[in-house]
Chains A and B, each alone.
Chain A
Amino acid sequence: MLAFIIRRLLQSVLVMLTVALVAFGLFRYIGDPINNMVGQEATLVEREQLRAQLGLNDPVPVQFARFVANAAQGQFGMSYRMARPVADVIFERLPATLELALISGIGALVVGIALGVYTALRRDGWLSQIIMSLSLIGVSLPTFLIGILLIYVFAVQLQVLPAFGRGEVVRLGWWSTGLLTESGLKSLIMPAITLGLYQLTLIMRLVRAEMLEVLRTDYIKFARARGLSDRSVHFRHALKNTLLPVITITGLQIGSIIAFAIITETVFQWPGVGLLFITAVQFVDVPVMAAYLVLIALIFVVINLIVDLLYFAVDPRLRVKRSGRGS
C-alpha cells in the first residue's frame, strides 16, 4: 500500500515537472519578457540590467530550477496585462471557478449515475430510449450553445435568472463565496447547468454501458440463479461493480470540468480563472498562462491521487492480499 502511494506520488511529481517544463518554455521563449515589463522606451543598458537582475542570462537549467522553485511557492511573476502578481490574481478568482466546478460536478455525478443505472435496467423502456436520444444531443451540443440558449430563455425571455456575473458574494477569509446569497445562488444555476450537462451525459452513457456489461457477468447470473431479489441483484451486486471503473473516468471528467469552465465562464462572464486564462491567451499574457497551466495540472494530479486511493478503498482485490491457503 505504502509502496503504491509512493510510486503514485513519484509519478505525480514527474507529471508536474513535465508541465512545469512546458510552462517554463512558454514563459521563457514566447515574446520577450523584458519588452513586456519595461515597455518600448527603456534603454539598452536598462534592459541589460533587468535581464541580469531577473537571471535571464543564467544557463537555462538554472533558470528552470529557479522557475520550479518559485512555482512551488506559488510565485509566477507579474501579469503583463494587469501589472499585478499572478498569484494574487489567480487566488482572487479561484473560489469562483472552484464553486462552479464543484456544484456542477456533483450534480453531473448524481444525476448521471442515476440516469445511467435507470437506462441500463430499463434498457428497452420508452423513457430510456428518450433519455438515450437526448443524451446524444447533449454530447453534440457545444457547451457555449447551451449557455446561450439558457440565457435567451431564462434571462432574456422569462427574465428570472441573471444573464451574467456571480451575483453578490460573501467573504470568508480569503475565500469569496456566492453560495450564501440569493443572487449568488441564482447566478450559479445557469452556469452550473451549462458546465455540468456535457459531463452528465458522458457519465450517464458510461455508467449505462458499464452496468450493461456487469449485468452480463457470471456472478450476476449466479446471483439471479440463487433467487436473490432484483433489488439485491441490481443495487447490491451490479451497481457496486459498475461504479468501480466509473470512478477513474469520472475523476478525470471532474478534473476536466475545471478546464471546460473556460467556455462557461466566457459565456456568463463568470469571474473565475477560466475567464482569466482566455483573456491571457488573447493578450499573450504569458505568466498568467503559465500559472494557469501549472494550476490545472496540480488539480489533475491531486484528483488522480484521490481516485487511486478511492479505488483502493473500494476494491478488496487491491486492499486485501491473497492468502496462500487452500488447494
Chain B
Amino acid sequence: MSDPTPPPLLSVRNLRIEFPTRRGTLVAIDDVSFDIARGEVLGVVGESGAGKSLTGAAIIGLLEPPGRIAAGEILLHGDPIHRLRPDQMRHIRGRRIAMIFQDPLTSLNPLLTIGQQLGETILTHLDVDEDGARKRAIALLDEVGIPAPAERIDHYPHQFSGGMRQRVVIALALCAQPELIIADEPTTALDVSVQAQIITLLKRLCREHDTAVMLVTHDMGVIAETADRVAVMYAGRLAEIGPVRAVVQTPHHPYTRGLMGSIPVLGADIRRLVQIDGAMPRLNAIPPGCAFNPRCGAVFERCRSDRPDLLPAGATRAACWLFDAGHASEQTR
C-alpha cells in the first residue's frame, strides 16, 4: 500500500507554545503551521522575540520549562514527535534532526577536544567502534573545510578561530547524516567576512546530503540567496509564507513589506508604509485581532476584532485581511 503523496519531512500543525507565569499564561507561539520538504531550505525571519528560536526548540524537543507545547503537533514523516519520551526523543536529536546555534564560541565544550566531542556524538548514533568514529570525525572535519584535520582533531575549541569553530559545529551537526538541520542564526556572531563562507558551506553540504534546513536569520541577503521558501514571523504568529522570490520581491503582508523596504503594491493604497513605527508588542499585550494592527498603515475595522488566518495572496500566503475575498468588495462599496 503506497501512499500517493508521502507526508512532508517535517510538518508543524497549529503549534502553540505557552509559558505559565504567575500573572497568567503567556502565549509565545500561537497557531503556527508550516511544512518543510525533503532537502528544502526554509528561511525564517522576523524581529527579535518573534518566536523563531522557540519554534526551533520545540521541533527538536528542547523547550525549556516552564515553556510547553500547549496545542498542535509536530510530525516527522507524518509521525508525531512532540509527545515522545525523553529517551525516544534522544534518538531523533542529532540522528534525524540536528541543531546549530548562533554562537560558535560558546557552542563547544571548552574542556574537551573537538575529537572527543565528535567521537562521542558519532558513537551515540552510529554503529562504529572508536577507530571508525575517529576516522569518520576526521573525514567530517575535512568535509567542512578544516585544514590538516588529522592533526586538528586533537585540538581544543579555543585553538580555533570563530569561523573554524562554526565549521566544527556544522561537522558535529552532520555527524549522523540528519534529515533536517535547524540553524538558528548560524552566522550572526561571526565576522562579516566569514559569514558568506559558512553559509556557502552549509548550503553545499545540505545539497550534497539532501538535508533540509530551517534557517533562522535576520539577514535578508542570506535568505534571498539560500532559501527555497521563507516564513515571516511576527509576535509568535506566521505573518507570511511563500517561495523566496515572491516573499522578497513581491511581499503582500504589510509587515513583510516593511521588512523588505517599501515596495508599493497594486490594488492597495498602502504607499505610506515606508518604515514601521513602534515595536512588536510584548507577549502579555498582544492586541486582539491582527497582532500587527497598531503598527499597520493599512489597518481597518476588522483588523482590530478578528484574527486573520493565512490567506492566498499572489504567490504567497499572508495572514492579513487585505487578502480576504470579502475585503475587495468592501472597498469598492
Q: Which chain A residues have a beta carbon within 8 Å of chain B's beta carbons?
A: 217-219, 221-230, 232, 236-237, 240-241, 244, 314-317, 320, 322-323, 325-327
Contacts and interface: CB of A to CB of B under 8 A. Distances in A.
A225 B172 CA distance: 10
B164 interface: yes
A222 B93 contact: no
A323 B86 CA distance: 39
Q: Report, nearest first, the 3 A-B pairs whose CB atoms are least far apart.
A: A227-B94, A227-B93, A226-B94
A316 B101 contact: no
Contact of B156 (A229, A317, A325): A317
Residue of A218, A219, A228 most packed against chain B (CB within 10 A)? A219
B163 A218 contact: no
Contacts of A236: 112, 120
A317 B112 CA distance: 10
Contacts of B228: none
Interface of B: 60, 62, 86, 90-95, 98-99, 101, 103, 106-113, 120-121, 124-125, 146-147, 155-156, 158-161, 163-164, 169, 172-173, 175-176, 194, 197
B63 to A, nearest CB: 11
Nearest to A224: B62
Contact of A237 (B94, B112, B113, B158): B112
Contact of B94 (A218, A228, A317, A326): A228
Contact of B124 (A225, A228, A314): A228
A146 to B, nearest CB: 36
Contact of A232 (B62, B86, B120, B155): B120
9 contacts: A218-B106, A219-B109, A224-B62, A227-B124, A228-B124, A232-B124, A315-B111, A323-B155, A326-B164
Contacts of A244: 111
Contact of B101 (A221, A314, A317, A325): A221
B110 A226 contact: no
A326 B98 CA distance: 25
Given A237-B109, A316-B111, A317-B110, A222 B163 contact: no
B201 to A, nearest CB: 11
A316 B110 contact: yes
Given A218-B101, A222-B99, A227 B90 contact: yes
B159 A322 contact: yes
A241 B93 contact: no
A225 B110 contact: no
Nearest to B165: A326
A225 B159 contact: no
Given A227-B91, A241-B111, 10 more contacts: A218-B101, A218-B106, A226-B98, A227-B125, A227-B176, A230-B86, A237-B109, A244-B111, A326-B146, A327-B163
Contact of B159 (A224, A232, A320): A320
